[in-house]
Structure 1
Amino acid sequence: MHGHRELGAFLQTLRARLRPEDVGLPDYGDRRRVPGLRREELALLAGVSASYYTRLEQGQSLGASPEVLDALARALRLDEAERRHLHDLAGGVRRRPVVRRPPEEHADAATLDLLEALDGVPALVSGRRGDILAWNPLGHALFASHLDHFAPQCPDDRPNLARLIFLDDHVRALYTDWPGKARAVVRNLRMVAGRHPDDGQLGSLIGELTMSSPEFASMWAEHGVSPCDSDVWEMHHPLVGVLTVNQQSLRPPQDSDSLLVLATAVRGDSASRSALSLLAQVISDARGCDRRTQHDAGDGRRGTPSLPRRSDF
C-alpha cells in the first residue's frame, strides 16, 4: 500500500463524483474531459491554491495540515467515515510507514467469556484484517458451517471474512444481496488499510484478493469507505432456509482492533427468529450425538459437531 498513490486516488475519486451544480458552482455547459469537479474548482471551494491541491493529489506534497484536510472534506461533502479516512491516508504519507509483520492476533479472555455467554446468539470475533479469531457454535453454524469448527484456533490457517465472501462459494451463496455484502466488506477493509498502512499482512491480503477476484478488484478501485457497524441481510442458509438477520459489529473496550460480530433476528420477524432457534436445536442435537458417539467409542477427546444437511430433516 503506497500512501502517496492511495491519497491521490482517493481524492480523484471523490472529486469525480461531484458536479459543479452539486456544490453551487456555475456550469456553463462546457464539455468536460473527465467527470466531476476540476482541480481548480475544488481548490477554490477548499480555500487553497490550485497548484497546492494539484501537488497534494499527485503525491508531491507531504505537509497537508488537519485544517486543510478538513477544508477539503467539507468541499467534497465527505461523511465522517470518509473524513477520517482522508486524515488517515494523509497521516500515513507523513509518517512514511515501514511495512512490517504485526504481532499475532488473539481474542482476549474477557472477550472469549462474552462470546461463551452469548450461547443463544450467533457471534464471532474478528481481528484487524477480518481473520476469525473465535466463534461460538451458533456463529460457526450460521456463517460457515462447512468449515472446521476449530479452524480459528490455528493462527496460520484461520478463516478470513473477506476471503470467505469473495473466494468461498458456500459463503457467497449465503447472501441474497451478495454484491451489497461484498461491497460493505471492501469498504470496511479500505478504512482499516488507511489506519494501518504498515501492516504487511493486510497488504498481502488485499493483493491476493485483487489477483484472485475481479469483483474485489473492481470494488476496491471505487475507493469507497464505511464501517461495518450494523446492516440487515437476507440469508439462504443450507440448514434452515431463508432468514433475515441484523449483523452488528461491536468493539470490545480493551481491544481497538478486534470486533465482536453478532447476528440477531430483526424485531418482529418471527420466521427468522424461529429459523435461528431451529439452527440452535440442530447444533444441540449434533453435539449430543457426538458426545454419545465418543462415549461409546471410549474416546474422551473433544470432537467437532457434525451438522446434518437440510435434506436430513
Structure 2
Amino acid sequence: MTESSELGTFLRDRRARKRPQDAGLGATTRRRVPGLRREELALLAGVSTAYYTRLEQGQCLTASPGVLDALARALDLNDAERAHLHDLARPARGPARTFRGETAHPRIRQLLAAVGSTPALVLGRRHDVLAWNSLGHALLAGHLDADSPRTTARRPCLPRMLFLDRHTRELYVDWPDEVRTCVAYLRLVAGRHRGDRALAALIGELAMKSPEFAEQWSRRQVRDCTFGTKHFHHPLVGPLSLEYEMLRLPDRPDQQLALYSAAPGSPAQAALRLLTDLVHEEDHSRASSRSAAEVGGGR
C-alpha cells in the first residue's frame, strides 16, 4: 500500500467511526454509511471539501501540521492516533531499506545487571529483545536460552513469541488483550518507520501465520504502550500481576527500557521474590558447574 493510500485509509476509517451526533451535527436516518460525510469533516476541520477529498484520495501529497491537527481535533483522535496521522502524512525517507541491526549499549547492560531484583529488558523498535537481566528472562521467557538476545539470528521478538510461541501464549492471563495492545503498537511503529523492511517482513509473517494477528491488524487500532499492568500465569510461581513502565533511551529513542514491579505487600511481590530466589539458585548452580569444569579442565 502506498503512503498516500495509507493516509487516506486511516482518515476514512476514523471518519467512519465518528458519530454525527458526537460532532454536534445531529443524527439522520438518510445516511447510507456510518460516520461523518467528507464535507462534514472538512467543515469541522476548517478546510474545503475539495481539499479534504484530494487528501483522502491520495491526490494531495502534502498537508501542513496545522491541517493535520485540525483533522485530529475534528475526529477526536487520541495522542497516539494524532502522532500516527502525522507520521502517515510525512514523506518516507527514500525507498524501503534494511536498517542496521540494533544493539544494547554496554552501559545499559550494566544497568540491567544492577537492578537484579527487578525484571528488566531492553527492546528495539520491533520489540526484539536486545538484552535482559536474569529476572526479566525468567519472567518472560525462561524456556529460551538466556544468551539468545546477544545474536541477531537467535534474538527473541516479543510480538512473534506472543502469536507463535505456545509458552508465551500460556503466560498471559488475558491473551486477547495482550494481542490488541501488541498489534496496536506495531501499527504505530509501522507508520513511524515505513521504510523498515524487517518490520514489514515481521508484520507479513505474523499476518500469514496467525489469523488472530491478521484480524486485529485489519482493525487499524493505534496505541503507544508506555505503562500499565500485565497479568501473568507464570509456570514457576503462579499468578502474578505486575506494573510495567517503558522508558525511551535518550541517545537511542527507538529503544525502550522495560521495567516490571509489584505493589508493596501484594501477593505479586511475594511471588516475584520467590522467582528471584529461584533465579539466584539457578545462577549459583550454573556458576558452580562452570567452576568445577574449569578446575577439571586444568588438571
TM-score (norm 2): 0.95
Does residue 180 (structure 1) correspond to residue 177 (structure 2)? The answer is: yes
Q: Any idea what SS the aligned residue of 2:254 has?
A: coil
Q: Who is 2:50 aligned against?
A: 51
Deviations, residues 117-143 of structure 1 (Å, cap 9, x unaligned): 111000110101111000000000000
Instruction: Specify whether residues 50 and 241 from structure 1 end up closer, same or farther in structure 2 by C-alpha distance, changes over 3 A only.
Output: same
Alpha-carbon distance in structure 2 between the residues aligned to 1:190 and 1:300: 53
In the alignment, the residues of structure 1 paired with residue 92 and residue 121 of structure 2 have an alpha-carbon distance, to the nearest angstrom, of 33
Cα pair 2:92 2:195 within 8 Å, conserved: no
Aligned length: 297
Q: Aligned-pair RMSD on alpha carbons?
A: 1.7
Once the 2 structures are TM-superposed, how far is the Cα of residue 29 of structure 1 from its aligned partner?
2.2
Query: Runs of 4 or more off by more than 6 Å in structure 1?
Result: none
Q: 2:292 and 2:122 mapped to 1: Cα distance? A: 34
Residue among 271, 291, 296 paired with 1:275: 271
Is the contact made by 1:294 and 1:300 (CA closer than 8 Å) also made in structure 2?
no
Question: C-alpha separation between the residues in 1 aligned to 2:12 and 2:212?
Answer: 21
What does 1:1-313 correspond to in 2, within 5 Å? Answer: 2-30=2-30, 32-91=31-90, 94-95=91-92, 97-265=94-262, 267-298=263-294
**Are the counterparts in 2 of residues 97 and 197 from structure 1 also a CA contact under 8 Å?**
no
Q: Is the 8 A contact 1:9 1:57 kept in 2?
A: yes
Write the letter of the residue equivalent to 1:68.
V
Deviation, 1:300, is: 8.8
What CA distance in whole angstroms lies between the structure 2 residues aligned with 1:16 and 1:158?
Answer: 40
CA distance in 2, matches of 1:98, 1:34: 36
What amino acid sits opposite 1:281 in the alignment? D
Deviation at 1:112, TM superposition (A): 1.3
* Inter-partner Cα distance in structure 1 for 2:198 and 2:225: 21
Mapped partners of 1:300, 1:259: distance in 2: 42
1:19, 1:49 → 2: CA distance? 20
CA contact (8 A) 2:43 2:49 kept: yes
Aligned mates of 2:188, 2:116 — CA distance in 1: 31
User: How far did 1:271 drift?
Assistant: 0.8
Query: Do the aligned residues in 1 keep the contact of 2:84 with 2:191 (CA within 8 Å)?
Result: yes
Contact 1:111/1:252 (8 A) holds in 2: no
Alpha-carbon offset, residue 51 of structure 1: 2.2
SS in 2 for 1:256: strand
Gaps (5+ residues) in structure 1? 302-313
Whichever residue aligns with residue 39 of structure 1, its letter is R
Displacement of 1:156 in angstroms is 2.1
Aligned equivalents of 1:300, 1:48: Cα separation in 2? 79
- 3-state DSSP of counterpart to 1:257: strand
**TM-score (ref. length: structure 1):** 0.91
Q: Is the 8 A contact 1:21 1:27 kept in 2?
A: yes
